Amino acid sequence: MKLNFNAGPAALPWEVLETASRSILEYKDSGMSILSLPHRGPHFKDILDDARKHVLQLLGLSGEEYAVMWFQGGGRLQFEMIPMNFLPDGATAAYIDSGRWAADAMSNAGRYGKVHISASSREDDYKQVPTAWNIPEDAAYLHLTANNTIYGTQSFTFPDTDVPVIADFSSELFSRKLDYSRFAMIYAVAQKNIGPSGTTLVIARKDFIQQTVRELPEILSYKAMAEKNSLVNTAPVFSIYVSSLYLGWMAAKGMDAIEQESIAKSQLLYHYIDQSSLYYTVAAPDSRSRMNVCCRLRREELTDALVAFAAERGILGIGGHRNIGGLRISIYNAISLQDTEQLLAVLKEFEQMHA
């Protein structure tokens, strides 16, 4: 198997792939493939229950207070659903603009109410995460993006406010210990650090999602999706199933071990890049992402050659975002420290060839 350092769809643990592959032929003793499993049958109910248990355990949240939901439509649907559900006509929503996806989320809110930019690092080319916030007390909610895959930045401090905070944790959820109870709602697309593409995980305070501000179709209502256990329509059974397997893999490993490995992987790469004569990072040191290590080559004309050189050695997905260029090395939970060391050896070999 080649090593997948793509930002998404990202690598999955080998044990998860093995179990999922067997289930394509037959899921447990059902006599059916997981691909044909009824979404309202007892087997899928068990899958949903297992996934919910693992999510709450990993995040340290109570099932009495928080609902776990699975949606289709990716992050872009969440960008639209959030103001649709929680921003009254004429009211104000606050957004922290820390990168491309944060700005995209913010652009949807104007269809429903007013938008207040509480902080932005746009003028600094998103090289850092803003940490000075101006949050209106009457804001319906504050939205932030915790990790910015394109720019390689990550939030390490969060606003302390009475305004409900909604956070996009798409590219880093389950990578570190936080007090997740400080958030009214968090969401994450699966294809980065949860499972395969096709579903999006939402965890929300039950009292918060009761506050839907307008009448909506059930498929666009957090309240309805929570009440119907994510089964307003046919759920993406296979994506949720593989995500549940991955969540179980992470729960068995434990958040302490996952976080320590995440720190070790990112520090290994940043330490090398900082002393390199060929590579350099752009993100501010206090905003460097542990999930997406973004860097550039001082001789930019060598970038494509490096990507091809790495691919020949079984290292895939290290090219930067198409709008930014450079390199982007995504070290999600399925990427081990040994995998990272293997990548590092390739980076060193290439640098030595072009010294």
Q: Catalytic residue at 192?
A: yes
Q: What Cα–Cα distance (Å) separates residue 227 from each residue in 50, 219, 221, 224?
A: 18, 12, 10, 5
- The residue from 70, 101, 249, 265 that is catalytic is 101
| Peptide bond between residue 9 and the one before it cis (omega within 30 degrees of 0) | yes
Residues sharing a CB contact under 8 Å with residue 252, sequence separation 6 or more, in sequence order: none
- The residue from 46, 49, 97, 192 that is catalytic is 192
Q: What Cα–Cα distance (Å) separates residue 249 from each residue in 55, 61, 148, 246, 313?
A: 12, 18, 25, 5, 28
pLDDT, position 159: 96
pLDDT, position 14: 97
Q: Catalytic residue at 101?
A: yes
Strand (E) positions, the chain? 3-4, 66-71, 92-97, 114-120, 142-145, 147-148, 153-154, 165-168, 185-189, 200-205, 279-281, 292-297, 315-316, 327-330
Q: What Cα–Cα distance (Å) separates residue 270 from each residue in 167, 282, 319, 344?
A: 26, 11, 17, 10
Decide: residue 55, CB within 10 A, 0-12 exposed, 13-18 middle, 19+ buried: buried
For residue 202, the cross-strand partners are: 69, 187
pLDDT, position 323: 80
10-residue stretch averages of pLDDT, the chain, 355 residues long = 94 97 95 94 96 98 98 96 97 96 93 96 94 96 96 96 98 97 98 97 98 96 97 96 98 98 98 97 96 96 96 96 90 98 98 90
Residues sharing a CB contact under 8 Å with residue 279, sequence separation 6 or more, in sequence order: 272, 273, 295, 296, 297, 298, 327, 347, 351
pLDDT, position 322: 85
Residue whose token pair is 């302390």: 160
Q: Catalytic residue at 89?
A: no
Cα separation of 37 and 124, whole Å?
Answer: 49
- The residue from 168, 223, 249, 265 that is catalytic is 168
pLDDT, position 325: 85
Cα separation of 83 and 105, whole Å?
Answer: 9
**Prediction pTM value:** 0.96
The percent helix, strand, coil of the chain (3-state, each to 5) is 40, 15, 40
